[in-house]
Structure 1
Amino acid sequence: MVAQEFTVDLTKPLVFQVGHLGEAYQEWVHQPIVGKEGPRFFASDFWESLTRTVWWAIPSIWLPVVCWCTSMSYRMGHTPSEIALMLGTGIFIWTLIEYTLHRFLFHIQTRTYWWNTVHYLLHGCHHKHPMDGLRLVFPPTATAVLLIPFWNLVKLISTPSTTPALFGGGLLGYVMYDCTHYYLHHGQPTKDPARHLKRYHLNHHFRIQTSGFGITSSLWDNVFGTLPPAKTIEKSS
């Protein structure tokens, strides 16, 4: 069988190799290599540079956008309390988006060359190299592209004056998610809830990848029945 015969060469760019694994890809990608040195993705230095992002770029780039969106709704006549409610609603909506993407897109089962390749770029690389510090947050160029349909979606379900603040709340939720995700991998929390979240997330990586899809909280895992067994979380501490 071709999928069993192919071996990924970790010394060479990985992206266009992993698709050849075929049906063996899912097993391969969920056998993590724990090391802070990340693999090379592309032979091209340009494309390679787009896959690497320092964590602090996320708040530096997107928090000013959140502030700008908030100020737009304020200038349109909304009070600070109304804007706070809209921001909170946007953050809440993001938590559901976070869970949905992680469960149904990032953990989609793939077998063909191109779907394996796409999955590896989206999320598989993170499971294969979970401690790669330059690939823990989403590249800003990709985020900017995805924000266009997100803005249009918010615009569709809200009024012109509430759209900016709701959008800003969702974007703020994303910033909180990406920074939290980085911290759960590289921080050393000593107190709950951060310590529990770290155990919860590392359990997803190293014990049961089919549950525990929440990053910033376990809220939607509780709602949709994807909580990992409590004993596995305790063992991962």
Structure 2
Amino acid sequence: MASKPFTVDLNKPLVFQMLTRTVWWVIPLVWLPVISWLVSVSLSRGLTPSDAASCLAGGVFIWTLLEYTLHRFLFHMKTSSYWGNTLHYLLHGCHHKHPMDGLRLVFPPAATTILSVPLWIVIRLASTPAVAPSLFGGGLLGYVMYDVTHYYLHHGKPSSGLSQNLKRYHLNHHFRVQSEGFGITSPLWDRAFGTYPTTKPIQKSK
């Protein structure tokens, strides 16, 4: 007897609804105060405002690499077991199945908190007590920029310029080639690692 295809019904279990559905404005509402507090901690430990700003910028840059890495290797991981498939579906599969669901476009704060713990540990071990909070805050700021940009690329209507190019670049990942275009806020790392989407040649009319 052929096995049934794997499915997860997110319409019934309330816990799945709570884990996968979040309105976009919750992200800046929750994390911007945390970022401000982290910067204040660095300042209280002797970091100058200009150094704190540099750490924030450095954290944002670190996030761009994390954004690419997580999207490519975690959110698009290959799974075969029931729980592996379930984890993948909750992390990212549900978004690809329902790409225009406005409540599944940003990451729930509880999940972000869990995933950010390893980043905090690495930053804390690799930097000083004064630098670590602002650098980590920059990573969170990059994440906030990523999530609100992601929402806009799906539901916004850019008419020209950078935002229109980013929308085309991201929707290409959804609807044409899911093995390319893993950046959201920038194609920087796709270009660096050879996963920038290839473009179809323009067909000339006869």
TM-score class, shorter-chain normalisation, is over 0.9
The yes-or-no answer on 1:88 pairing with 2:57 is: yes
Give the root-mean-square deviation of aligned CA atoms. Answer: 1.9
Return the offset for 1:118.
1.3
State the 1:150 CA deviation. 1.9
1:80 CA drift (Å)? 1.6
1:67 paired to 2:36: yes
Once the two structures are superposed, residues 121-156 of structure 1 have per-residue CA deviations (whole angstroms, 9 ceiling, x without a partner) of 111111111011101100111112222222111101
Change (3 A) 1:216 1:60: same
- Residue 20 of structure 2 aligns with an amino acid whose one-letter code is T
Structure 2: gaps (5+ residues): none
- Out of 206, 210, 216, the residue aligned to residue 175 of structure 2 is 206
What's the secondary structure of 1:110's corresponding residue?
coil
Residue 159 of structure 1 corresponds to: 128
> When the two structures are superposed, what TM-score results if normalisation uses the length of structure 1?
0.80
Supply the AA of the counterpart residue of 1:230: T
TM-score (norm 2): 0.92
Query: Take 2:153 and 2:16, find their aligned partners in 1: how far apart are those partners?
Result: 27
1:73-106 Cα distance to aligned partner (Å, 9 max, x none):
1121222211111000000000000000111111
1:53 and 2:18 aligned? no
Distance of 2:135 and 2:68 partners within structure 1: 19
Deviation at 1:231, TM superposition (A): 2.9
The equivalent residue for 1:98 is 67
Alpha-carbon distance change, 211 to 47 in structure 1, aligned in 2, over 3 angstroms = closer
In the superposition, relative to structure 1, how do residues 44 and 110 fare at CA in structure 2: closer, same or farther (>3 Å)? closer
Judge conservation of contact 2:19–2:90 (CA < 8 Å) in 1. Answer: no
The code of the aligned residue for 1:49 comes to: M
Quick one: percent identity of the two aligned structures?
Answer: 61
The equivalent residue for 1:193 is 162
Find the residue that maps to 1:2 and give its secondary structure.
coil
Contact 2:102 2:151 in 1 (8 A): yes
Q: 1:46 offset after TM fit, Å?
A: 4.4
Please list every run of 5 or more consecutive structure 1 residues that lacks an aligned counterpart in the other structure: 8-16, 20-39
